[in-house]
Amino acid sequence: MFWRPLTLLLCLAALQLVVSAQSNSTTLSFQVQSGGNDNYFIRDDTSAAQVLVTSSNNTSPVRRLVVALPAGNSGVLAYFLPLNGSGATNSTLNVALQNGSLATTTELFNNTGVQADLSFSGNATLGVTILGAVRAMRDYVEGAGLTHEIFNYTLASSNSTSLHLHRQWINATSTGEYRSADFYLTAKSGASFSVTPGNNGTFTPPTVNILVNGSSAGIVQMRLVCNETSLRGLSPSELFLPEGKGSTKGINTALQGLANGSDFVSQEVSFLTYQDKFTAGGWRFLTYFGRDSMIALRLLMPTLSSNAIESALGAVIERVNSTGALCHEETIGDYASFVNIGNNQSDLGNKPFYDYKMIDTDLFLLPALRHYFLELPQGKGRAKAFLAKNATLQNGTYAELLNRTVTYNLERATLFAQNSSVANLLHFRDGQPVGNWRDSNEGTGYGPIPFDVNIALVPASLRATAALARANIIGGNASAGLAVEADGVAAVWEENALQFFEVSLANETAGARLTNFIVKANLSEALIGGSGNATGRGNKTFYALSLDDDGTPVQVLHSDIGFNLLYGNNVSQSFLQRVTEALIPYPRGLLTNIGMVVANPAYDVNTTNIDVLNRAAYHGTVVWSWQQGLMAGGLTRQLGFCNATNSSAVVDINPPPQPGAKPAWCNNSTFVKSVEEAQSRLWTSVMGGVGQIFSEVWSYNFDNSTNTFSVADLGALSPSGTESDAIQLCSYGFLGLLSPNAMRVGH
């Protein structure tokens, strides 16, 4: 089991507060407090790094240092424990990063990295230390302290003022160039070291005591360097359109303070974006993730420069496999060797490993290209040059690589078009417990046929294929035929797939289940207007979160209906009606006073899902920021098709209306009003949790004296203790949205 990388967990809780920011257009330097940790960020031409130390007010007895570099996804994780004299009670140790001391650094042999001064409040001993791959560090933290001997460091040298730990990559010389990481501690004022080497080679770690000599704190400089190539970052001014240069009033409102970095939220996004790829979040995911890149892109795209959009799109296309599947996650640096060895491909050395297990990632690309090339001013006229580019990670032009994905997605969809059976819907891949953003068996209530993929993303990808083919951007000489075929297959999915997911419960059944849920989830009847009886609550009709293999719907109310709103074509009145019914207060619907939960198992006949998807579950009754962004952006898009929304509150650009193609429901003013009211309820809920908006996910505490919810750190509730990323790419999608009163959310 050591050899299997842990199941990916994307995007976690972050209670976030930006403490300070200072920068100009090329240098990033800011700080974010989140989830009991102080996070410091730096990026310049030399290196980029996130440095995390446990906050001084964190009650944990153990202090932690994390340094994570996007270069090679390398870093160090080190724990410091209080060192007590014999008979002493536990002292409280604090380890703080000294203001202004964080800097990038260079060394011989082109090694680069960062250094900072740490102040130790008392004597400490070095605990578990993992030097090398960020992914190995993450496995240790999320894997209940599991690690593998292959990741061991060596004690290179030590004396009373200096400690040097060295880690040579597993395949340090497979490319003919020695690769390694080095971690140095240097005693400065008031500190010294006492180091006893381990007695069993590299297997036993040395005992490293950090002694504070006087009555004031001891200062120790830490340095981490490695010789992985630093990535070229995109500065805020390269990432965002210049202020005032948007094509609409709404875009210009959204752009305020972004390109010049004066709104330091733009620095946070900038830290995650590079000329060659967008990364998903820090510290845990400072590497390429396809889904995160494309979801963030879809929401942010109207505010981004062509160069930035093409960086993200190019990164996705560069990593396509020869069948046409798109890469979910790339593993680079030292950990790539570990994965290659685990896959019996140790001959590959540390060549990057690209993961293709997800079934949704493949479907986000064509809608993103469609939006960019056909709908946004930034992309107009740029398709030809972009698609003519030669890829750098493999042979072929972007057009050739993209063509594989077009074909792959069309083929995957064709069976259902010929025979619309459950068996021909898209299932998680054989042997994979994961396949979409809900990431796990538990996340989809154990159903391997997810709603988002089958109802929103397959038809959206096909419709985008058709639109791009009609515009002669893809398909070459066969573009006309491709457009007709893709449209035809899409139409069958749009007509035939949804029925499998329909759940309709009688009044009394729905009421009884809701009552049971309120008891099981420790909520209050007052949330549904009192009175435990089952009548008067209406039929409950909604769409299942997923299907079991045999087609049984998993009766969990969920937020993935937002994918249809942002990506879907021809969204029907009855679908929108279901959306308005889901956007009512939890636990009847999805809305709490601190945000929209992504799953609600209240109506599920399978009551074990009440626990599987509880408020401590990663994809349970918890709030994911980007899902709110998706829903909000989607409602704006749908209302935009009727021009039924305040245009100065709109950032995204809808395709120009086809003559006579206005949705029929636009003429029903009562219905339009009900959609607007749902939008308004959603934003009220979103704004109730606005302090967390750029963090990934949060949970709730329920106060039954006031019948209100308050924000809770999921990391603290979650049994696995999986922690939050302080900054997460997809959550910054809110920078591409405005509230109905035309305000952009911020810190």
Ligand X SMILES: *[C@@H]1O[C@H](CO)[C@@H](O)[C@H](O)[C@H]1NC(C)=O
Q: In the complex, which residues of this chain contact ligand X (CB under 6 A)?
A: 17, 24, 26-27, 33, 55, 57, 61, 89-90, 109-111, 122-123, 147-149, 152-153, 157, 159-162, 170-171, 174, 177-178, 180, 200, 202-203, 205, 211-212, 227, 321-323, 325, 337, 341, 346-347, 349, 356-357, 388-390, 429
Considering only the C-alpha atoms of the chain, give the largest distance between any 2 of them, rounded to a whole number of Å: 84
Q: Output b/e per residue, 312-336; b: 16+ Cβ within 10 A.
A: bbbbbbbbbbeebbbbbbbbbbbbb
DSSP assignments along 580-645, one per residue:
HHHSSBTTTSSEETTEEBSEEGGG-SSTHHHHHTSTTSTTSS-EEHHHHHHHHHHHHHHHHHTT-S
User: Residue 427 in contact with residue 448, Cβ under 8 Å?
Assistant: yes
Three-class DSSP category at 49: strand
Rounded-to-integer distance, Cα 346 and Cα 342, Å: 8
Q: Output b/e per residue, 6-20; b: 16+ Cβ within 10 A.
A: bebbbbbbbbbebee
Rounded-to-integer distance, Cα 237 and Cα 247, Å: 17
- 680-685: long-range contacts at Cβ-Cβ below 8 A with a sequence spacing of 24 or more? 680/740, 681/583, 681/584, 681/591, 682/583, 682/591, 682/596, 682/628, 682/631, 682/632, 682/635, 683/632, 683/739, 683/740, 684/591, 685/591, 685/592, 685/593, 685/594, 685/595, 685/596, 685/628
Kindly give, in sequence order, each residue whose CB lies less than 8 Å from that of residue 39, ignoring residues fewer than 6 positions away. 31, 32, 33, 50, 51, 52, 282, 283, 726, 727
Instruction: List the 623-624 sheet strands across, edge first.
Output: 623-624, 697-703, 708-712
Q: Please, what sign has the CA dihedral across residues 726, 731, 736, 741?
A: negative
Q: What is the rounded (10 degree) CA torsion for 491, 498, 465, 426?
A: -120
Kindly give, in sequence order, each residue whose CB lies less than 8 Å from that of residue 256, ignoring residues fewer than 6 positions away. 243, 263, 744
Angstrom CA distances, 581 to 47, 586, 597, 678, stand at 49, 11, 14, 8
Q: Output b/e per residue, 637-662; b: 16+ Cβ within 10 A.
A: bbbbbbeebeeebbbbbeeeeeeeee
Closest CA to 442 of 320, 606, 203: 606
Q: Please, what sign has the CA dihedral across residues 669, 672, 676, 681?
A: positive
Rounded-to-integer distance, Cα 731 and Cα 25, Å: 22
**Strand-strand pairing, 74-82 and 63-69:** antiparallel
Residue 200: other Cβ atoms inside 10 A: 8
Rounded-to-integer distance, Cα 6 and Cα 13, Å: 19
Helix axis angle for 625-641 and 290-300, nearest 10°, is: 40
Residue 152 pairs with which residues in a beta bridge? Answer: none
What distance, in Å, lies between the first and last C-alpha atoms of the chain? 42
Q: Where are the alpha helices (DSSP H) in 391-547?
A: 398-418, 451, 458-470, 479-496, 507-520
Kindly give, in sequence order, each residue whose CB lies less than 8 Å from that of residue 188, ignoring residues fewer than 6 positions away. 117, 219, 220, 221
Q: Please, what sign has the CA dihedral across residues 631, 678, 596, 535?
A: negative
Tell me how many helices (H) and strands (E) the chain has: 20, 33
User: Residue 271 in contact with residue 206, Cβ under 8 Å?
Assistant: no
